[in-house]
Structure 1
Amino acid sequence: MDFSNLRAFYQVATSGNFSKAANELFISQPALSRQVAALEKELELQLFNRQGRQVIITDAGRRLMVYAEKIINLSIEARKEMLEFKDLTCGELTIGASTTIANYFLPNMLAQYNCKNPGIIINLKIGNSREIEKMAAEGSVEVGLVAGETDILQLYQEHFADDMLYLVVAKDHRFIKSTSLLKQLSEETFLCREDGSDTQRLLNNLLVKRNISPKSKMTLGDTEAIKRGVINNMGIAFLSKYTFEYELQLGLLLPLEQMKSTRPFLLVYPKGARLSPAALAFSALLKKNFIRING
């Protein structure tokens, strides 16, 4: 059933004559008559009885009128809601973020986004970088925020921030005054993230590059647990600068400049995907903050 024909029928039924209905629809009366006739032909039913300039709706027409009103109202509601999506007055955005980004970088971004777009409902899924890449590729999140380069070819990448990682020790650790740090690292216990973590990948690469074989490794998995472990002299750790800013201010943790590395933070989503207005606004906010921080 053609929607324009149904709308023409509805307008004639509510106005009571073809001339007035045509004016209200901004079309010619002959065009309107053809639309109504096409609908009657399709349904094989007479919808109006013509009496001069006046039209009287038939029983079939009255029955159709009930459905036509519902359909037209739904069309109006759908258009209104789509415009609200476009204008970001409502909607939903599902984001995936790696642990470091989600816990230490993203909260400020989400606060800014929510302030600008209070009608958007945000769903955040957290995992390590490899897990978030998989979610983005499979479409279980609209966009993913990951640390380090991705090897998944079907994902598009947008660079939105830079990260610096340091070897971190407790405030009273012997390495603070050490002049032969690299030689002593092999005697230390390293507190580590789990496999799949980009932070752990960078540490592994750095140890290989410097030909360092730690005495032991302890996988704690959680960054907060790792920080508490370092503070209590359980070992040393390799951490993003975003994760220990508070402890650095308090003097509880100290970074060692001799052991550091850089990496990008990336926004990823499937190549060819058309991002929603909510996701585009989020991407623009990330880029704006990246320019402000690095400009």
Structure 2
Amino acid sequence: MISKLDLYKVFRQVGKSGSFSKAAEELYMTQPAVSQSIMQLENELNIRLFNRTRKGVTFTTEGNNLFDYVNSAITLIEAGEEKILEFRNLSTGELKIGVGDTISKYYLIPFLEKFHNKYPNIKLKIINSTTIELCSYIKSGDIDIAICNFPIEDDSLELIPCAEIQDIFVCGERYKKLISDKVSYEELTKLPLIFLEKSSNSRKYVEGFMISKGVNISPDFELGSYDLLLEFAKINLGIACVIKEFSKEFLEKNYVYEIDTMEKIPKRSIGACYLKKVPLSLGAIEFLKIMKE
């Protein structure tokens, strides 16, 4: 059964062509089918839309008025369909990514560059915040995906681990003697400790591990910037808890030294997360593919 929209499309084409036969050619229909469609529409509207002549058809006054509305409506529908096709081809659109400052600087940038080079017309909106805040942004729809420190305990989120990281302790020249032998966590707590602030997911993970070993910490410095951890350790203000993969430059240049603890902190992951119940956009799907390559 032909839909009302299809009837209007036939009406529009007949109005443009001024002929049933020409409209039939444009629509790949038979002339009787076009004629039947116009008659059906006229019957449903209970009004005559065209004057039939030997040379073709012309609008009635009512048909001419209706044509302006129908033509505008179908033009908008076609424009919408074209826009959807552009989104499907990733030739337009926006991808909103939430990420912490540290992960953004030390991990995410190469993936952003690769995605932008591949899909230059997709706008990238980057929101920097803590893991806890990013999870709430996902749920409110403010971001499409978040790149966070794991673990995250939230059943509403889909978690995709992307890379392993290792938490370590580092020191500057003043405490360099510590690297000559294995150090226990009890010994470390007797020294000035430099940690991220309590709201940090990294801080919670390391502190939770140490508590599980019966060791409580009371940092002398609690910082909001990862880079400051390394800088504070470098100038001998204490022992900093950092991520090894993000501290390569400082370690390689001997600005800081890794302390060999008796027991390693278990590795954890950096990964992407998004809301389980909401389908990902094509842009988000492609970005995750790039991250996993």
Contact 1:97 1:125 in 2 (8 A): yes
Aligned-partner residue type, residue 130 of structure 1? I
TM-score (norm. length: structure 2): 0.90
What residue number does 2:226 align with? 223
Over residues 56-108 of structure 1, what are the superposed CA-to-partner deviations in whole Å (9 max), with x where a residue is unaligned?
Answer: 11122222222233223222322222111111111100011133322211011
Q: Determine if the alignment matches structure 1 residue 94 to structure 2 residue 96.
A: yes
What residue number does 1:143 align with? 145
> Could you tell me how far apart the structure 1 residues matched to 2:55 and 2:95 are?
54
> Could you tell me how far apart the structure 2 residues matched to 1:216 and 1:68 are?
70
What residue number does 1:263 align with? 268
From 277, 281, 287, give the equivalent of 2:286: 281
Contact 2:176 2:257 in 1 (8 A): no
Over the residues paired in the alignment, what is the CA RMSD in angstroms? 2.1
1:11 positional shift: 0.7
Contact 2:172 2:235 in 1 (8 A): yes
Give the share of equivalent positions with the same residue, in percent: 25
Q: Which runs of 5+ in 2 are unaligned?
A: none
Sort the Cα spacing of 1:178 and 1:35 in 2 relative to 1 into closer, same or farther, 3 A.
Answer: same
1:34 positional shift: 3.1
Contact 1:105 1:242 in 2 (8 A): no
Aligned residues: 288
Aligned-partner residue type, residue 287 of structure 1? K
Contact 1:163 1:241 in 2 (8 A): yes
Contact 2:233 2:240 in 1 (8 A): yes
From 237, 251, 267, give the equivalent of 2:254: 251
Query: How does 1:39-118 map onto structure 2 within 5 Å?
Result: 39-52=41-54, 54-118=56-120
> Could you tell me how far apart the structure 2 residues matched to 1:240 and 1:137 are?
28
Contact 2:207 2:217 in 1 (8 A): no
1:13 positional shift: 1.0
> Could you tell me how far apart the structure 2 residues matched to 1:180 and 1:245 are?
21
Sort the Cα spacing of 1:107 and 1:166 in 2 relative to 1 into closer, same or farther, 3 A.
Answer: same
> Could you tell me how far apart the structure 2 residues matched to 1:160 and 1:172 are?
36
Decide which moves more: 155-164 or 181-190.
181-190
Query: How does 1:180-219 map onto structure 2 within 5 Å?
Result: 181-182=183-184, 183-214=186-217, 216-219=219-222
**Higher strand proportion:** 1
